[in-house]
């Protein structure tokens, strides 16, 4: 597909140079079930993928890979922890997702 400005749209970025505003440093994988947990990788940049903030990390010979920021030691702090509020078992966002799931399942099975 070609947009009005004439450059073809693809899944790859046309920017190849490292931008000064891009994240730098490194990130450690902290997700308990990720196979690279405990390993640290250089951060190349940050990108939002389907509404999830991800870090693009430099791997070894395999090249680059992406992981959600929340799965690294660069995760944003938890608002509940920062506010010194007691830990909640369920968050409103999660409960609303469960309600949506049940409603869609109910509608599917009705008919």
Instruction: Output the pTM of the full model.
Output: 0.52
Match 């490292």 to its residue by tokens.
18
Residue (of 46, 44, 52) closest to 25 by Cα position: 44
Retrieve residue 111's tokens.
């008919």
Q: What is the pLDDT of residues 18-71, one digit of tens each?
A: 444 455 799 999 999 999 999 999 999 999 988 899 999 998 777 999 999 999
Relative to beta strand 64-68, strand 40-49 is unpaired
* Per-residue model confidence as pLDDT tens digits over 59-104: 877 799 999 999 999 998 776 666 666 667 777 888 899 999 999 8
| Cβ contact 89:95 at 8 Å | no
pLDDT score, position 9: 47
For the chain, give every domain's residue range: 26-110
């Amino acid at each position: 597909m070609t947009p009005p400005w004439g450059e073809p749209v693809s899944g790859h970025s046309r920017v190849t140079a490292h931008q000064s505003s891009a994240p730098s440093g490194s990130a450690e994988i902290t997700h308990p079930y990720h196979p690279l947990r405990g390993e640290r990788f250089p951060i190349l940049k940050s990108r939002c993928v389907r509404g999830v903030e991800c870090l693009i990390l430099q791997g070894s010979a395999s090249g680059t890979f992406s992981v959600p920021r929340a799965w690294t030691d660069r995760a944003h702090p938890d608002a509940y922890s920062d506010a010194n509020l007691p830990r909640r078992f369920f968050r409103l966002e999660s409960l609303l997702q469960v309600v949506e799931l049940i409603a869609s399942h109910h509608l599917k099975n009705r008919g």
